[in-house]
Structure 1
Amino acid sequence: MSQRTDNVRVRRTRKLLRDALIELIEERGFERLTVGEVTERAMVSRAAFYRNYRDKYHLVEQIFDEAMEALLCTMADEDEQPPIKRWVAFFEHVAEYRRLYGALLGKKGSSWFAAKMQSSLSNNIAHHLDSITTSGSLVATLLGGMFVQAIAWWLENERPLSPYEIATETARLASAVITEANRPSS
């Protein structure tokens, strides 16, 4: 079999498994689903699953890594873009992958995924806050949690605000937290 044919087959298998995972999370919740259910829904053998992933957490981790890579690409050239444009790009990305984020951050989702996403966002925020606030780590952690909750709220409520509106609102709230963190204590 040629390398190209093999790559197409691997990509197809991974897509089927990911689609099945999202469907099952929406139906049953992440914690209750099994690898067997994912492979059955995807119509893929268990052997094919284990050639690609160690377990369901590894599958979610790979999805997360790819989604975060795509997210960071949308926010590339950050020094050239005003912060609000980066936030709008962030929420446009979330809207594009709404089914994935909605399943993983929703009521039936994965607390593991939510914690991983919060940690990733907090680390990214901390990198930007180093020169802005003296309590960067605490503020970054709070903002990371706020953004994960904002995403979950936005998706659970079927995106009642445009990406620009939700970006503006969360940026305003983040700015208030940063301003308060920088206020001298009495």
Structure 2
Amino acid sequence: MGLKMDRRKKYTRYVLKESFIKKMHEKPLSSITIKEVCEMADINRSTFYSNYKDLYDLLSQIEDEIIADLNNTLSSYNYNKDDEAIQMTEKLLEYIAENQESCQVLFSEHGDPAFQKKVIMLAHNHLLKSWFPGSSMPDENKQYLTLFIANGSIHILQTWLKNGLKESPKEMAELITKLATKGVSAFQ
């Protein structure tokens, strides 16, 4: 009986998340009601409240899952090697492509700017830890460089999502890695 309830609860959360993301494609969070999400998910309001406090709690849980997944991917690679940097970036972009609908919303103007900042800081911290072991570059410059790369990469990602993922994750990974490691000189 417990297994059946677990599956039912997972399904309920899944349909609520999917319905919520669809609504966020249509309008900003501040204009979405729990009633609309429940109607779209074909779930009653009491079921919603047994899973989430409010829409912000639902959004927070969606964001936290994505942050955890991104962190796990970033933690499993060594960025010092160009091949691994491309593979890691490609894995991240594959994850984003697989979760395109959620990511399009979360990285769009309807998304939470705090979430986007968390993703930037996650990338920044991973780059800072792994790109500069033994480097004589001043710490302040390391900070600026990794923030520049993380912010630029997020904006490339947003444009890629907005354009409907026309390029493959591998093509985008190569582009981002080239820009991060060689800058404009990679294209001259």
Shorter chain as normaliser: what TM range? 0.7 to 0.9
Does 2:50 match 1:44?
no
Instruction: Indicate how the Cα distance of structure 1 residues 148 and 54 shifts in structure 2: closer, same or farther if over 3 A, else same.
Output: farther
Distance 1:12 1:119, change over 3 A: same
- Alignment CA distance shift 1:112-1:32 (3 Å): farther
What number of residue pairs does the alignment pair up? 177
Give the C-alpha shift of residue 140 in structure 1. 2.6
CA distance in 1, matches of 2:91, 2:117: 22
Please report how far the alpha carbon of residue 73 of structure 1 lies from its aligned counterpart in structure 2 after TM superposition. Answer: 4.4
Match of 2:106 among 94, 104, 107: 104
For 1:23, the aligned partner's letter is K
Following superposition, the deviation at residue 66 of structure 1 comes to 1.9
- The amino acid that maps onto 1:161 is E
Alpha-carbon distance in 1 for matches of 2:118, 2:40: 26
Relative to the length of structure 2, the TM-score reads 0.81
| Cα RMSD for the two superposed structures | 2.4
Unmatched 5+ residue regions in structure 1?
A: 180-186
CA contact (8 A) 1:129 1:136 kept: no
Deviation at 1:107, TM superposition (A): 3.2
Partner of 2:160: 154
Q: TM-score, normalised by structure 1?
A: 0.81
Query: Secondary structure of the residue that 1:106 maps to in structure 2?
Result: coil
C-alpha distance in 1 between matches for 2:160 and 2:178: 16
The percent of aligned pairs where both chains have the same amino acid is 24
- The match for 2:180 is 174
